[in-house]
Chains A and B, each alone.
Chain A
């Protein structure tokens, strides 16, 4: 039997196993690093669309070359370099249609990537991307859509679901936002200290939406998307580090306290478990301790707002050894203040549920029905699910079934669907 020729020097043998491994590594690196690579490519190329093209090209190159040549020592740096190279290549290829001077100018304007690939610069690029996507010259809706698309890499479909909107509407919103960034020369930079506080609010709002998209994925098979939540927490930590404003601290606390319940929130088979039924020994005490300390720090500032108040509510839940031991009066009191700071129907719904826990289901149902009658939450699945629970506790099975049916019709998430179906089946027995 003839021996295989030795592999070329410096290259590992390209057998099937190693090729498959390299491909899997490329895919894993892409999942973990693509947004960071993208953020750096925008700085290098000065254009969102060019950067997106370059990102796709660099990943294609990785899938081709890594199985053949082995995984590079620094895959992220490799992807940035490859993307930059592909972009320059693309500009040169299109050169047939434009004057040669312009091409030289365009290519020369692309900075060298080598000195900027250290960790800190990459983090700066992510902050640049966040602040650019959340620039107040963009409409608030566009800021959120753009951040979810560009910073977090969500699809327009996922963003549309999170916003109770349609994919074409979202896609158009993103295209318009990118056109405004280009035309109005919105810079790719972290704001100056004087401008930073004013620009923080929209960033915090966007970060929390990202967290929620990860914590309670709006569609698909799995209940949560760990990567998005940890992404949001990472962004939250970075913001607290850069700008320790009370609400940034409050938001980080809120995310940590919610995240602490992640394991308890779903059964081993992926079924949804409500707060009252959760095994509290599964709660992550380190995250609770960190979150509670951050709440104290934010409250002590006396300049806190809605995020800190929501975190304070989560901290009250976290402090209760059992569901029955929950201090519902304290929670209703915090919701009262929150409702003043942020009069929204979702906050009113949560307050109604807390009132039901303190004063009984009849008091809660009265509030929930009043909220539903106002119309804004008619298509909000959790409003109908809450109504179903309260009807069931009052012994009104027919109304409970009707409300569960309505919630089921509105849910797009598999574990939630199964949960609601189980509750419906219990009512039929």
Chain B
């Protein structure tokens, strides 16, 4: 079972003082190495700050583009992990070790793996 862990925090790396960011990067290096070792790792990435974001909508065939993320909350989306876990409790144990969870929050979402989804996304042949 795959889970997406969405990391949100009030400050992303670019907004932190340099030493704090360096320490945080080191924590992520250790965490990622650990879950690669334990077999939970599937994928991950860090996102550039929300000010680099653009929101796109298409209505009646017309593309509208606006600056920034769709929803403005206090916590910003800063990155994600895709993990493999047996069940929610295991996923929660892994998510609790994501360094971002200590200063922000991590949303744990099961990834849909039903046949209709897999076929629609081209992961499985018709």
Contacts and interface: CB of A to CB of B under 8 A. Distances in A.
Contacts, number: 26
Contacts of A195: 89
A401 to B, nearest CB: 54
Interface size class of B (residues with CB under 8 A): 10 to 19
Interface string B108-125: 101000000000000000
Interface string B53-92: 0000000000000000000000000000000011111111
B1 interface: yes
The 10 tightest CB contacts between A and B, nearest first, are A187-B87, A185-B87, A186-B88, A185-B88, A184-B88, A187-B89, A185-B1, A184-B110, A183-B110, A137-B88
A189 interface: yes
A184 B89 CA distance: 10
B110 A187 contact: no
A192 B86 CA distance: 15
A242 to B, nearest CB: 17
Contacts of B86: 185, 187
A186 B89 CA distance: 7
Contacts of B91: 185
A187 B86 CA distance: 9
Nearest to A181: B88
26 contacts: A135-B88, A137-B88, A137-B92, A183-B110, A184-B88, A184-B108, A184-B110, A185-B1, A185-B85, A185-B86, A185-B87, A185-B88, A185-B91, A185-B110, A186-B87, A186-B88, A186-B89, A187-B86, A187-B87, A187-B88, A187-B89, A187-B90, A189-B89, A191-B89, A192-B89, A195-B89
Residues of A contacting B: mostly: loop
Interface residues of A, number: 11
A189 B86 CA distance: 12
A137 B108 CA distance: 10
Nearest to B90: A187
A189 B88 CA distance: 11
Contacts of A192: 89
